[in-house]
Homo-oligomer: A and B are copies of this chain.
Amino acid sequence: MSIKDLAKAAKQASIMLAATATEQKNKALQTIAQELRNRKEEIIAANNLDLERSKKENLAAPLLKRLKFDEEKIDGVIDGINSLIKLPDPVGETLASTELSEGLELYKISCPIGVIGVIFESRPDALVQISTLCLKSGNSTLLKGGSEALETNRILAKIIVDATAKCNIPNGWIQLLETRADVNEMLKEDQYIDLIIPRGSNDFVKYIMENSNIPVLGHADGICHVYIDKDAVIEKAIKVALDSKCQYVAVCNATETILVHEAIANAILPQLKWALETCGVEIYGCAQTQSIISVLPATDESWKTEYLDYKVSVKIVKDCVEAVDHINTYGSGHTESIQTENKDTAVYFLNHVDSGNVFWNCSTRFSDGFRYGFGAEVGISTNKIHARGPVGLDGLLIYKYIAKGDGHTVTDFSEGKRKYSHIKLNKPLRF
């Protein structure tokens, strides 16, 4: 089948899946969990093929670690599915209800988006997480995983296809793509695909955004900031800055620039430098920073750089207003944190920073669906519409308006025979 045909089949399946009962979706999720347990050995054997090939291809050790899908990780995704089963069905919720006029009622009802294309990195757990989130939310999905995980993804997709077919989930609701060329074809199918969620490198996400008419949910850059205000407690601020930068450097919510209020710079910078350098972080400082501590020079380019590494830019600012301006100019709308004991300053920062996640006295590394308590996440969005920040089940839903009448016509209203009442009903839709 061509990618167009796969996308078309996914669209057709999505219509039926949108109207599939909660019990049937949960039964299918249970069956997936069961089959993953039953077919553990097959999965591990397939994963070993991927691991062996990738070792021969000299894949870096951290990537091999992410690729590995052993018994523990399989148990992890099964636990995830069991949590997902327990969540209420997000589809069919009454979000609002209004009597428009006597006998004419309007309901705003949550429903699936339709068909979601997801492109994810090497971890095979992502395939199970994303497809089960899509199933629970009633969406069809086209998935493209990392090519290193080819064999593992194939067996996982097959297990999910088999398990859901047994439970009468419509055929075609999940489709596995395998090549970069497939992805390029997918980007053209705006007739059938409603949303693309790309996870991966900055350049890759930008490429997707520029090469498709399909809406894209996600983030390219993750240039996060920690701002240390004059009213910060030094020890606490350094602890948070260090965690934000170093707890895991290779991820989008790691901090790339530390902004320091000039009134606290002399007091904090030497300690901050010592703490960062102890963790192996290379510091690029503005001229004023360099006049206090000996560090490498920062350029205008430094403020736009997502290091994803043991490197950080440091800039001295004259106040919180300048810090906010800097963030809104150079940031990527991802996550920023202010360190201060001054409530008014914190409120200014939280209200004026134009990012999806704005924190007060805590690490930027908390910006994550699991830490937010969403269960699994489909990604982190720096979009300004639909969904922002870490995106869980909610981001896979939209709504439709359902009206029930009894032969109501607009003519009756324009002729004055009927009147609009617009009374809030606060009751769920019942047929």
Q: Which residues of A contact B (CB under 8 A)?
A: 14-16, 18-19, 98, 100, 104, 106, 113-114, 194-195, 209-210, 213, 215, 217, 233, 236-237, 239-240, 242-243, 247-248, 324, 328, 343, 346-348, 350-352, 354-363, 365-367, 371-373, 383-386, 388-390, 398-411, 413-414, 420, 422, 431
Contacts and interface: CB of A to CB of B under 8 A. Distances in A.
Contacts of A403: 357-360, 362, 366
A409 B100 contact: no
B106 A407 contact: no
Nearest to A351: B19
Output the residue of A194, A350, A358 with the most chain B CB within 10 A: A350
A107 to B, nearest CB: 9
B398 A384 contact: yes
Given A18-B354, A233-B407, A366-B410, A401 B384 contact: no
21 contacts: A15-B354, A98-B372, A100-B366, A104-B362, A106-B372, A113-B384, A114-B354, A243-B410, A247-B409, A347-B431, A356-B401, A357-B403, A358-B400, A358-B402, A361-B406, A362-B409, A367-B401, A371-B410, A373-B420, A385-B386, A386-B386
Chain A contact residues, majority secondary structure = mixed
A329 to B, nearest CB: 10
A414 B217 CA distance: 29
Contacts of A361: 404-408
A405 B360 contact: yes
A91 to B, nearest CB: 10
Contacts of A347: 431
A297 to B, nearest CB: 27
A100 B398 contact: no
B346 A431 contact: yes
Given A213-B210, A215-B385, A346-B431, A422 B360 contact: no
Given A15-B328, A372-B98, A407 B352 contact: no
Contacts of A359: 402-405
Contacts of A410: 243, 247-248, 363, 365-366, 371
A385 B194 contact: yes
Contacts of A194: 384-385
A242 B410 CA distance: 10
Nearest to A406: B361
Contacts of A413: 371
